[in-house]
Amino acid sequence: MSDVGPRQVNEDRALAVVSEDDGSWVIAVADGLGGHTRGDEAAQAAVEGLPLRIASAEDMATAFGEANERVLALTGPEVWSRALPLHMFPMSTLCVAAWTPEGGLLIGWMGDTLPFIATASRGGFSGFLCGRPHRIPGGSIEICLGMPPAGGSADPGPVEVEIVGESGAGSRPDAVILLSDGAWEPFVYEHGVEWLSDDSVAGGIGAACGPNAETADEIAERMLAEACRLGLNDNATIAVALWR
């Protein structure tokens, strides 16, 4: 689910695919960097070529490498060696979560689109950020898709994707929630940065999920509505996978 917020254009993109064969799935959220040329196209390029099945950390790393090449291609290698300002390069963040029977749960991300996990209990959900933001508070993003190759090289080089995983059904959380920065920042502005790692039902993302949510749609609806109530400063996009 997505809301354009106060922006004129929604530069967020999302993907959700589920296999009818074995229930494996891939969800993703990409956020075109504001102030950069063709941010919406960069976000679209980030998600549109993702594989429909990711069963290993190697698969995840490959998916991010290929997504980076698609975003870089929007600028074209012929201009990589020129002294262009960074805002002339299309760039995007990307967060991907995938589950397969053989690979378990895998999550990878670059930038400040963030992955959260949540566990359901009788009193509601508890959850927390399962990685770290690739952005200094109030500062610029450390890594993202579409950064020009170092030294103007035609070889984009390796991608610094951060990957976490939980193998098997026994250790997996009940929900995986991917949030663009426009969706999680209103909560941090309201509750402080501790909101990102608060694992109590009374606060953090667990409370934002809602106590009675029964579907992925209900979690996304509740979270987006609360982010809108707190006040959006950007496009806000949420993708949710929920086990039952």
Residue 209 has pLDDT above 80, yes or no: yes
Lowest mean per-residue pLDDT among 15-29, 80-94, 124-138, 149-163:
149-163
Write down the pTM of the prediction: 0.92
Residue 80 has pLDDT above 80, yes or no: no
201, amino acid identity: V
**Pick from 228, 223, 137: nearest CA to 176:** 223
**Could you tell me the two tokens for 158?**
């390796």
Give the three-state DSSP class for 16. strand
The whole domain housing 190 covers: 2-242
Total domain count, the chain: 1
Give the three-state DSSP class for 132. coil
Instruction: Check which CATH number belongs to the domain holding 24 and give it.
Output: 3.60.40.10
